[in-house]
Chains A and B, each alone.
Chain A
Amino acid sequence: MTKLSRHSNTRSIRRTPRILTVVPICDGHDSAIVTINFEFARHGIEVIYLGYHRSVRDVVRAAIQEDVQAIGISSYNGGHIEFFSQVLRMLRDEGAADIGVFGGGGGTITAPDVRVLKRRGVDEIFLAGTPLESIVEFVRRNYSKPRRGIARANLDGPLNDLELGKLLTAAEVRSKPSPLARGPSTTVIGITGPGGAGKTTLIDELALRFLNSQARGRLAILSHDPSLAAKGALLGDRAGMVNAQQDRVFMRSIGTRGKPGGLAAATRRSVEILKHGGFGLTLVESAGIGQEDLPFARGVVDKQVLVMSPDYGSRLQLHKIVMLETADVVVVNKADLPGGRTAYSELEQRLASNKPRPKLIATVAKRHRDPGVDELFKEVVS
């Protein structure tokens, strides 16, 4: 048994608030929240954006897995009293009542509604016409304090998402090795590539195949996105994922927080925790990388997948991408684009001299049931 008390450890680091933002189920009004997300990130807040049309369960699950200080809900389509109340109730049921809830939503939330919502435990509702600065100020003032750590976690037994979430936060702070680094471990796949190659979509499709391939096992995803110079970050990978937002997937978004190369300082420790967290498979997505980057060089993962899109430029560029020398699998995603076939054959030649020769797979991740993604899935689980 290990006693985890994060109070003293986390306070110094977690000065920047980490929050989750979302638009409720059956609501597609995302223009306000998109603007606010950027504003948050610009002002040093780490924002995990869950996207629009998300259920209460999706919201609470993500908040717990991401171990955020607060949830911001932007609701324009009515039914807000129910939605906010259900989020609060479910947070309580899951033992995460200390996660704050705030929100807003144009004219549909009336003054009497605000009174009801506050009575039920919502921290603040911002009405139409509120200047963005005051929302940012509110978040910085109220959600900078770290949340309670888990007083004790039975690290011998299986961890629930709440414990795992907090353990990962602790790993971001403490440089000690994970207390979990014992017991059976599972395969960890590193997925990297330049920004915009479609890594997130590919991972979401791999998740779907994983979930369909077995009835019970869980999948872990550790997803990196760059932090801004101001220390804030917009971690938006969840928003584009339609398959991976469900109970059998544990996903954690992590900002690179100033570390170059596609990963974060805490990556290794986080992977160690996930690896022993009882998952059937762990996928680690790097932030978009440059030509020289080798994010997984130091043995963090069991297999390295490099995802590229056909628009890498001239053929000469392929000889500058160092990652092509170490990848176990190279994927040409967006293979349906005009340059798809050219890219495939140029890469084929480029990889011909590698030993061992990496597997080259063409995928169209955006296409449902893409055979290329099937092949990639077989390759990563083999």
Chain B
Amino acid sequence: MSALAQIINAAQEFERSVEAQVRKARSDTRFAGELRRRWRKIRDGVPTIETPAGLKLPRLALPQTDEPAEIARFVFGDGLPGEFPFVTAAYPEMYLQKPGGSGQQAEVEEPTRLFAGLGLAEDTNRRFHYLTQHQHSIRLSTAFDGPTLYGIDSDADGVLGKVGEGGVAIDTVEDMERLYARFPLGDEHFSVSMTINGPAPIILAMYVAAAQRRFGRSVIPKLRGTVQADILKEVQAQNETIFPMEASLRFLTDMAEFTTTHMQRWYPISISGYHIAEAGATPVQQAAFTLSNGFAYVEMFQSRGLAVDRFGPRLSFFLDCGLDLEYVALGRVCRKLWAIGMRDVFHAGLRAQMFKLHTQTSGRSLIAQEYKNNLTRTAIELLLAYMNATNSCHSNSADEPFTTPSEEYVRLAAHAQAIVLEESGLFKLMMNTLAGSPGMKILERALEEAILNEFRQIDQLGGVLAATELRYQRSQIQTAAHRYETQINDGTRPIIGWNRFGDRSASLPDVKVVRTPRSRQQLQINRLQKFKRTHRDQAGRALDRLSKVVESGGNVFAELLNTVEHCSLGQITGRLQEIVGRFRPTM
């Protein structure tokens, strides 16, 4: 039986097992007594918090019941925070502000993430330093420009206008050194996240090489961070694929093998529903495709011989959170299905069962017309994200529909998170205030059923890889996107300021747009060409060595660490494409 079919069965089996426990709690008095005792202990163990106005409340909200069947339903069906199946939360303690003591504070990670990337490496470096000046732990999230995302050089034909637009331009290991200059790369309070997919192994190799140049070889096992590297979602939704799927997946697995062995603090892939949702998928499709992609990666890494308990804890997820009702519970259901699949099908231990979730508010929900409304949209989405006990979150800037966010709106977006988490008492006091309501339970049930139905479709097509080749996910996403547009056009999906209460006479805002000046773009090209001249003699040999590794089936990532010392991103992509071919878009 295919893995996906086994997961569907396991999810159903899990429901039956919960119901069995509930029945047992009703009929077996000894079991009921045990449950009651355990429940009392759990309740007594919950710390008390106090609202600023002086009301005393429990930190964790538990069902108000002494009825053994209800206790069983919660303990086995939802689980306490940090306990299987993690419906409540992946970790026991989240968003808690511990009073005083900086030593304690280090244990609690600030969940705020800010995405940045613009111009040249040093421009983004400056922005990073500005953003993190008051943060205790430094978490840098990096956006790359178009040429970098497509693995081509800044001096390639006709890309000049794209250099440094919408993200940072990276061509060589030297750019990578400039990008993270003056940051302590090996420090335990430092981590980077790089939003890159097709060329992810090459870019990560540049990062490792840059770190090595500054701190020596010993820094490698200390490096913390993540690359997105989610090829399946690229083929299904985002179109930033540069090699054929099979070759891309092999390079990815090579990279995962290397990081699992030598960089144990590194997250080699961020399994992403965000772009699936942004391309038009419904919330259910987002969850179903992302989870099934995740399971496909697990199968792939396992068949490479990697142990699930070594790489499993290093898988993380990235979901979109929009304004649709489904988002009230989507993250909760994902945590549950992931845990069941990992435990019951892949036999993973506790840490690999945890669905570690990064959320970003929806970019698609933001519009250019009367764009300050976007502040409200993002605030609601933030609330939904934290109601799902996301482990970290990025809030979009209101000016994103037209530009790389300006500092003013980046600041407002960051403050929105601080208002939700620090100013409001919603999450920092009682961690799961809104969980367990009848509405949320109904949603959880409906979502789970719909997600499992999607799994069935994918399984019938022969699994995730086969379905992807048959364009299943892609066409489903396109159909959903079309429906969304139709709903906006006929008004059944109201968008305030656009198809409802819109000021037809209002023209688009004349906002100040951040763009990379031509002189900066030229500077990037000059630097790249100088690098190519300097390494002219070694580049060919380095590429030939890389070719040999590719042809002989060796670990390409390990060799890339050498290649990037002498070759640019575009040179490496070009050589790899000669050997494995180029990605052919499916229409």
Contacts and interface: CB of A to CB of B under 8 A. Distances in A.
A56 interface: yes
B51 interface: no
B491 to A, nearest CB: 13
Given A77-B146, A107-B368, A369-B581, 9 more contacts: A26-B159, A31-B481, A56-B158, A79-B165, A107-B508, A108-B402, A111-B507, A111-B510, A242-B585
A151 B161 CA distance: 36
B241 to A, nearest CB: 8
A183 interface: no
B239 interface: yes
Contact of B585 (A56, A80, A111, A239): A239
B42 interface: no
Interface bin, chain B: 35 or more
A26 B149 contact: yes
Contact of B238 (A28, A112, A369): A28
Interface stretch (A47-55, A275-283, A285-293): A47-55
B278 to A, nearest CB: 10
Interface of A: 25-31, 34-35, 49, 51-53, 55-57, 77-83, 86, 106-108, 110-112, 127-129, 131, 201, 204, 236, 239-243, 366-369
B33 to A, nearest CB: 57
Please name the 6 residue pairs, one residue from A and one from B, whose CB atoms are nearest each other, closest first.
A82-B161, A26-B146, A28-B239, A368-B581, A79-B161, A107-B401
A78 B513 CA distance: 11
A350 B321 CA distance: 56
Interface string B547-587: 00000000000000000000000000000000011111111
A26 B368 CA distance: 23
Given A26-B147, A107-B368, A127-B508, A204 B166 contact: no
B198 to A, nearest CB: 10
Contacts of B392: none
A240 B585 contact: yes
7 contacts: A26-B159, A49-B587, A79-B161, A79-B162, A80-B161, A82-B162, A86-B161
Contacts of A49: 587
A35 B486 CA distance: 11
A31 B401 contact: no
Contact of A366 (B146, B166, B244, B402): B244
B537 interface: no
Nearest to B244: A368
A83 B158 contact: yes
Nearest to B404: A78
A204 B585 CA distance: 12
B482 interface: yes
B110 interface: no
A77 B161 contact: no
B459 interface: no
Contacts of B584: 201, 204, 240-242, 366
B585 A26 contact: no
B367 A107 contact: yes
Given A77-B165, A201-B584, A240-B585, A57 B511 contact: no
Interface string B141-174: 0000111011010001111111101100000000
Contact of B367 (A77, A128, A201): A128
Nearest to A87: B158
Contact of B159 (A25, A52, A201): A25
A52 B585 contact: yes
B463 interface: no
Nearest to A241: B584
B97 interface: no
Contacts of B238: 28
A106 B146 contact: no
Given A28-B240, A31-B280, A369-B581, A236 B158 contact: no
Contacts of A27: 146
A35 B513 contact: no
Contacts of B160: 79, 82
B368 A77 contact: no
A26 B149 CA distance: 7
Which of A26, A29, A49, A51 has the most CB atoms of chain B within a 10 A radius of its CB? A26
A86 B156 CA distance: 14
B478 interface: yes
A57 B157 contact: yes
A78 B165 contact: yes
B158 A34 contact: no
B423 interface: no
Contacts of B482: 35
B403 interface: yes
Which of B247, B368, B507, B584 has the most CB atoms of chain A within a 10 A radius of its CB? B584
A156 B470 CA distance: 48
Contacts of B147: 26
A269 to B, nearest CB: 29
Interface string B498-516: 1000000001101101010
A55 B146 CA distance: 12
A111 B586 CA distance: 34
B582 to A, nearest CB: 4
A242 B578 CA distance: 12
Nearest to B371: A107
A93 to B, nearest CB: 13
Contacts of B158: 25, 55-57, 83, 86
